[in-house]
Amino acid sequence: MKRLVLIISAAAALVACNSNGENKTATDTPLTDSLKQEALKDSSNFTTISWVDSTYKNLGDVKKGQVVEIPFLVKNTGDKPLIISSVQPGCGCTVAEKPEKPVLPGKEEKIVAKFNSEGQSEGTHTKTVVVTANTKPFTQHTLTFQVNVTK
């Protein structure tokens, strides 16, 4: 934990030195991949989360060719900053966006999946996005949505 705090503090100091008078903190700057990986290794920096609006969503009918956004709201319920290191869609028809900055304790952020129904067969499809973060007891969380592709 001391190592991660030291790394984040050093990053904040560097940002402050180069900020041209802007008031920035370590949580105002996106984390590097190495800092994200460090957070996943040090369990003393793990936090807890809750999925505010569920990890499963049924979107109902979606017209073929339509792109739909599926927001998943996550709340940091722990006492350490939440660092989402990756979001991995289960297939090429889905992309996902995550917050690049740490989510402070008590705060909420969105993970947004975008499903492109172009090229999908008609019928029901179930898709997933795997979220990796510095959370306990598990570091991976599966978000699931279902759509019914129609003409």
Angle at 135 between CA 134 and CA 139, to 5 degrees: 80
**Beta-carbon contacts of residue 21 (< 8 Å; ≥ 6 apart):** none
- Residue 88 vs residues 41, 69, 84, 92, 125: alpha-carbon distances, Å: 19, 15, 11, 10, 17
pLDDT at 1 exceeding the cut of 70: no
CATH code for residues 46-150: 2.60.40.10
Hey, where are the domains in the chain? 46-150
**What would the mean pLDDT of 57-62 be, rounded to a whole number?**
96
Output the six-digit token pair for 32. 């590097």
The answer, yes or no, to whether residue 29 has pLDDT greater than 60, is no
pLDDT of residue 19: 37
CA–CA gap between residue 50 and residue 74 (Å, rounded): 6
For 25-29, 41-45, 101-105, which range has the lowest pLDDT when averaged over its residues? 25-29
